[in-house]
């Protein structure tokens, strides 16, 4: 009986190892001086993660696992609380408008600093970036760990809320700046949104507004066709996503 029990234990360990070998771990760490409520959104053909939204207090970390071939995005919400009258949960920035901590398939309300990831199944390139295409609300970085290839850290570490152009600022009820809109979201013009006659890399270039973002965060996407300096690759890594790196 003891031998059978040992065998079953070993089988269980092997099965657990097999599951782990088919997943990618994302560690979320909050280095900000304020709490962050993380949002996660899976791509159309990949499953939702175990948590689609969660509270990340100051100085804490939380791990989430995804399938090796997962794609999606992460962001941080700030100034969140339940409305005392309605009980609905809402945030000053990057709210996913579900009325609860879970985002349940909803993306953030701009402006929001995004981490975007497409995993390569463990043997091909993962693609990852930090995007300011939907504006900025909180500094963020993504760091690959134990992967092979170029595997560089990319980030927007600057607090763009401090130097945001006046016509892009978003404020909370107490007039604190909680986000910096993209020019596309602020003005809804094709030349800023890279749509219509500006819908290709040859016709849509950086604007004065996107250059403000690029100067502050050189490795982050500053507008839709900012691929050359903003997309990074790694194979078989786990990732650390840090707020206020």
Cα angle 205, 214, 207 (rounded to 5 degrees) comes to 30
CA distance 191 to 212: 16
CA distance 196 to 176: 35
Q: Find out whether 109 and 94 touch, Cβ atoms under 8 Å.
A: yes
Q: Which residue has the higher pLDDT, 9 or 164?
A: 164
pLDDT tens sequence across 134-184: 999 999 999 999 999 999 999 999 999 999 999 999 999 889 999 999 999
pLDDT tens sequence across 65-78: 999 999 999 999 99
Cα angle 146, 133, 236 (rounded to 5 degrees) comes to 15
The percentage of residues in the chain with a pLDDT greater than 70, rounded to a whole number, is 91
Q: What pTM value is reported for the model?
A: 0.90
Domains within the chain, CATH numbers bracketed: 23-159+218-243 (2.60.110.10)
Q: Which residue has the higher pLDDT, 173 or 50?
A: 50
- The answer, yes or no, to whether residue 3 has pLDDT greater than 50, is no
pLDDT tens sequence across 170-195: 999 889 999 999 999 999 999 999 99
pLDDT tens sequence across 77-121: 999 999 988 999 999 999 999 999 999 999 999 999 999 999 999
């Amino acid at each position: 009986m003891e031998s059978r029990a040992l065998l079953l234990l070993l089988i269980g360990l092997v099965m657990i190892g097999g599951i782990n070998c088919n997943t990618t771990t994302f560690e979320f760490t909050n280095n900000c001086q304020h709490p962050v409520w993380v949002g996660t959104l899976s791509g159309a053909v990949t499953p939702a993660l175990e948590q689609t939204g969660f509270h990340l207090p100051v100085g804490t970390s939380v791990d989430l696992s995804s399938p090796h071939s997962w794609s999606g995005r992460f962001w941080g919400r700030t100034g969140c609380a339940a409305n005392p009258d309605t009980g609905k949960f809402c945030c000053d920035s990057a709210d996913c408008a579900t009325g609860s901590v879970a985002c349940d398939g909803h993306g953030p309300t701009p402006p929001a600093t995004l981490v975007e990831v497409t995993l390569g199944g463990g043997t091909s390139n993962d693609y990852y970036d930090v995007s300011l295409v939907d504006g900025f609300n909180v500094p963020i970085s993504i760091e690959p760990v134990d992967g092979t290839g170029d595997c560089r850290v990319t980030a927007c570490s600057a607090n763009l809320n401090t130097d945001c152009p006046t016509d892009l600022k978003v404020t909370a009820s107490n007039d604190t700046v909680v986000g910096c809109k993209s020019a596309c979201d602020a003005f809804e013009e094709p030349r800023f949104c890279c749509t219509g006659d500006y819908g290709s890399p040859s016709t849509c270039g950086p604007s004065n507004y996107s250059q403000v973002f690029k100067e502050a965060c050189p490795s982050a996407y500053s507008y839709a066709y900012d691929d050359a300096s903003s997309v990074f690759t790694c194979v078989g890594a786990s990732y650390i996503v840090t707020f206020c790196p």
